[in-house]
Chains A and B, each alone.
Chain A
Amino acid sequence: DVKVTQSSRYLVKRTGEKVFLECVQDMDHENMFWYRQDPGLGLRLIYFSYDVKMKEKGDIPEGYSVSREKKERFSLILESASTNQTSMYLCASSLPGTGVGNYGYTFGSGTRLTVV
């Protein structure tokens, strides 16, 4: 069964900590995405990547960075966690080009991050 695996389901971190959220996919997908989900705001795109070592800002990149050193792994980094980054974080992957239109995204189970 193909998968997108997020390393933690629940995470509690302190304000100011550097936080790493890891996402690994086993489908050989080129595209990977990070979203955050908050009540009433839907899904908001943070960063995405279409290839190894490539990254592009989404709609809300402030306070975040990403790393994609290998095709299967896409890491989201909170440089200095703040309470307003408490949220559900969702990773997704997809085939490139028309593959998105034909198959959509595959999502991970999400990481619920609480910053205290």
Chain B
Amino acid sequence: GNSVTQMEGPVTLSEEAFLTINCTYTATGYPSLFWYVQYPGEGLQLLLKATKADDKGSNKGFEATYRKETTSFHLEKGSVQVSDSAVYFCALSDRSQGAQKLVFGQGTRLTINP
């Protein structure tokens, strides 16, 4: 079946540090891949997405590249801010299976210290 594995948190960084949150997936078809962000006390918001291999999604300084050869979609940001403190979820949708649901990773809590 389809699954998403994220690096375990929590992750704590200093402001202006480089961020990587690892995400790998297992899918039987051709998934779309997503990163969602959840700020404290809020619901999830779509951060970025990629719908086919080698696509790069980007938003708010965050980037992730869809790597079919390594089945990965790692989230990166060059210089994090305190306001980036949140929980980040990687997710996939496997269109070839006719699935209409997203499969989520467990989430990674990120804390940025000033």
A contact set with B: CB distance below 8 Å = 4, 6, 31, 33, 41-43, 45, 48, 50, 90, 92, 94, 96-98, 100-102, 104-110, 112
Contacts and interface: CB of A to CB of B under 8 A. Distances in A.
A62 to B, nearest CB: 19
Nearest to B43: A107
10 contacts: A42-B107, A45-B101, A90-B43, A100-B93, A101-B32, A101-B51, A101-B94, A104-B46, A104-B102, A109-B43
B102 A100 contact: yes
Contacts of B104: 42-43
Contacts of B102: 100, 104-105
A104 B49 CA distance: 8
A30 B62 CA distance: 30
Contacts of B43: 4, 6, 90, 107-110
B89 A101 contact: no
B80 to A, nearest CB: 23
Contacts, number: 62
A41 B42 CA distance: 17
Contacts of A104: 32, 34, 36, 46, 49, 91, 93, 102
Interface residues of B, number: 26
A100 B99 contact: yes
A109 B93 contact: no
A102 B32 contact: yes
A28 to B, nearest CB: 16
Nearest to A108: B43
Contact of A100 (B44, B89, B101): B101
